[in-house]
Amino acid sequence: MKFTITTPIYYVNDKPHVGHAYATIVADTFARYHRLIGDDVFFLTGTDENSQKNVEAARAAGKTNIQAYLDTQSAVWKETWKQLDISFDDFIRTTEDRHKKGVIDFFNLVREKGDIYKGTYKGLYCKGCEAFVRESDLVNGLCQFHKKTPEVIEEENYFFRCSKYRDQLLSYIEDNPDFVQPVSRRNEIINYIRDHFEDVSISREKSEWGIPLPIDSTHVMYVWFDALINYLTGIGFGWDEKLFDRYWPADVHIVGKDIIKFHCALWPAMLLSAGLPLPKRIFAHGFFTIDGERIGKSMGNAIDPLEIAQIHGLDVLRYFLLREIPFGGDGDFSFARLELRYASDLAKGIGNFVSRVLSLAEKISYSYEKNLGEHEKEAQEACKSAHAQWKQGFEAYALHDCLDAAWDLIRHGDQFIDRTKPWSLITNEKTNAIQIIGILVELVQQVSVLVYPFMPHTAEQIWERLGIKNTQIIGEHSIIGSWRSFKISHIQRGSPLFPLTR
């Protein structure tokens, strides 16, 4: 099966903070899971560069060459994702020719449909949102997301006739309960489309930066109209039809909850107009705070994810974010919690379990044992149910269920060791000891597969110690979740995966 996943494209007026890293790591986790089970994956991320925000940031930094500024800034984002080992398949920039060409093609499809017209618009505009906002959206006269007073703007613009798609969109959302996720966001979107979804201005006059309209070069494309199309141009629209046909529609767009309206209303209306299939799902993750405070440049607490990865380890950062922030809900980041999670779940959890088993195996110079005796059935059942829960969790976008499944299996393994005490059997009941250790080795292998999407480096380290190559597991559909696929021998214990004293 094919699986296409995207992150939002990020503004380059700032460098990535841990909130951006979270969304991107979530997408990476799904991408890795799907590659692991043998799916044909396309994982897209990129940068949004035609925003007025970026131009202002370039000015503020004293740069006169806007494109050069964007090049440098975009490279920072790409490099950060590489350092964080984000396994993206492409990185789209909205200033690239392939994107601009696709946007023009797309615009022409919508225009041919009769969905572009010229009109005058007067309304409140929030620069932070880069969107017109309604009086009723304001909190004490301020944008709820940017805490700023919107400007009153009156312009003659080109409009996209999205109201034409209101009913079609509402019935689509009705018929496809998975389209807007989590479900708590669904009613918000339905109300918005039903009561407030009006034609949107899609051009700006006198804007110095952006993609000129093919029908009027004195106007540039409104940044959201342009940016959303990245999901198409990033996978070939307008430049590689075969690639596009292979990977569109996206299986899921991962977005922040502040941009869900654009993704669940404007974007599908654009696609309906252009006659293209809609994405299968839009998943909004929550916001998170740092020690109780909302992250943001203005807050001065925008934590650099690279720094955390350097100090604590990449897999520790990944694990912490994915474990601690309920997927779809809001969460809080704190270093105190990170230390707690590290000690309890990693050092004393998976780290200790792997180390206990591999030391036992090393002690008896374990080599593949065919007959695992009376306890095999029970262990096999535990793996089977953990695997089923893990798989179900991924399919239902419930990452917590997947992590629970892995840690339940670790606990099962620990309890099995405590109960059978294999170390006490090595001298007098060697056969029994070998069988128990054989089961434990298999449990370690099974756990490593379950944690791979979340903590790829940890899984790879375990495989190395078990003498398994990545290529023997990743993409090998028949092996994932099956019992004893590898004849494991020559185990190396190695150093602790998550040492308690660092």
The pair of three-digit structure tokens given for residue 229, joined into one six-digit string? 């199309």
Spell out the alpha helix ranges (H) of 40-138.
52-60, 66-83, 97-112
The enclosing H or E element of 470 equals helix 470-473
What's the closest the beta carbon of residue 296 comes to Zn ion, in angstroms? 12
HSE-up of residue 184 (Cα within 13 Å, Cβ side): 8
Residue 143 vs 290, nearer CB to Zn ion: 143
What's the closest the beta carbon of residue 333 comes to Zn ion, in angstroms? 23
What letters, b where the CB count within 10 A reaches 16 and e where it falls short, cover 185-195?
bbeebbebbee
Residue 123 vs 128, nearer CB to Zn ion: 128
**CA nearest 227: which of 13, 4, 10, 6?**
10
Residue 149 vs 168, nearer CB to Zn ion: 149
What's the closest the beta carbon of residue 147 comes to Zn ion, in angstroms? 8
What's the closest the beta carbon of residue 253 comes to Zn ion, in angstroms? 21
The pair of three-digit structure tokens given for residue 266, joined into one six-digit string? 């404007």
Instruction: Give me the residue label for tokens 């969304």.
Output: 23
Burial label, 383 (beta-carbon count in 10 A; 0-12, 13-18, 19+): buried
The pair of three-digit structure tokens given for residue 218, joined into one six-digit string? 């004195």
What's the closest the beta carbon of residue 128 comes to Zn ion, in angstroms? 4
Do 225 and 270 meet the contact criterion of CB atoms below 8 Å apart? yes
Which 8-state DSSP code applies to residue 87? -
The pair of three-digit structure tokens given for residue 22, joined into one six-digit string? 């979270």
What's the closest the beta carbon of residue 138 comes to Zn ion, in angstroms? 9
Q: CA–CA separation, 140 vs 148, rounded Å?
A: 10
Q: What residues line the site for Zn ion (CB under 5 A)?
A: 126, 128-129, 143, 145-146
- The single-letter code of the amino acid at 35 is R
What's the closest the beta carbon of residue 148 comes to Zn ion, in angstroms? 7
Do 254 and 283 meet the contact criterion of CB atoms below 8 Å apart? yes
Q: CA–CA separation, 198 vs 489, rounded Å?
A: 65
Preceding amide of 249 cis, omega within 30: yes
Residue 133 vs 358, nearer CB to Zn ion: 133
What's the closest the beta carbon of residue 137 comes to Zn ion, in angstroms? 9
The enclosing H or E element of 393 equals helix 376-395
**291 three-class SS:** coil
Helices 18-36 and 314-324 meet at what angle, rounded to 10? 90
Burial label, 430 (beta-carbon count in 10 A; 0-12, 13-18, 19+): exposed
What's the closest the beta carbon of residue 135 comes to Zn ion, in angstroms? 14
Residue 198 vs 258, nearer CB to Zn ion: 258
What's the closest the beta carbon of residue 146 comes to Zn ion, in angstroms? 4
